[in-house]
Amino acid sequence: MSEVRILVVEDDPFFARVLQKRLSAEGYQVFVATDGREGMKAIVSHEPDLVISDWMMPQVDGLELCQSVKTGLREAAPYFILLTAKGEIDDKLLALETGADDYLVKPCDQGELMARVRAGLRIVLLTQDLRRSAQELRVVKAELEELRRTLGTAKRDDRAA
């Protein structure tokens, strides 16, 4: 699990430390950023597989962070779990429509959060496998096309001789 990188973006130092300890205890490599701006830099430098971000933070909030990451990185964007005290259905819809992959209302149960992290990572790992398979198929397809061209040229040469 140590190859799995998780970024926690949280302005509450106590809660950030709790998350960091819990995730590290599960074997994940954990990075912490204290606000959205720091989070953007950490996403570029650490390339996390999953981001857990608070919504309400000074300067760049979690929703803005999520939107810019999902827009900028597109399919390379990490799985994004948004944590917030905002529990209204409109807030959840806004978060999910903005690009968050999951949403949890604080205070959240640590067991539920860890289950959602594991579920998110299953999706991340399956997506990575799918991308690898697609790349391998493109390579095999190119090799087949080259082989067909080579065989086609050989057949024409045989007929000409």
Q: Which two tokens stand for residue 129?
A: 């496998």
Identity of residue 135: Q
Report whether 116 contacts 104 (CB < 8 A). yes
Q: Which two tokens stand for residue 14?
A: 């106590």
**For the chain, domain boundaries:** 5-130
Q: What is the mean pLDDT of residues 6-30?
A: 93
Q: What is the mean pLDDT of residues 129-146?
A: 89
Identity of residue 8: V
Q: What is the mean pLDDT of residues 45-72?
A: 90
Report whether 37 contacts 60 (CB < 8 A). yes
Whole-number pLDDT of residue 141? 92
Is the pLDDT at 18 greater than 80? The verdict is yes
Q: Which two tokens stand for residue 53?
A: 């971000």
Where residue 134 falls among pLDDT bands split at 50, 70, 90? confident
In CATH, the number for domain 5-130 is 3.40.50.2300
75-125, pLDDT tens digit by residue? 778 999 998 887 788 888 888 888 899 998 888 888 899 999 999 999 988
Mapped onto helix, strand or coil, the DSSP state of residue 33 is strand
Q: What is the pTM of this model?
A: 0.81
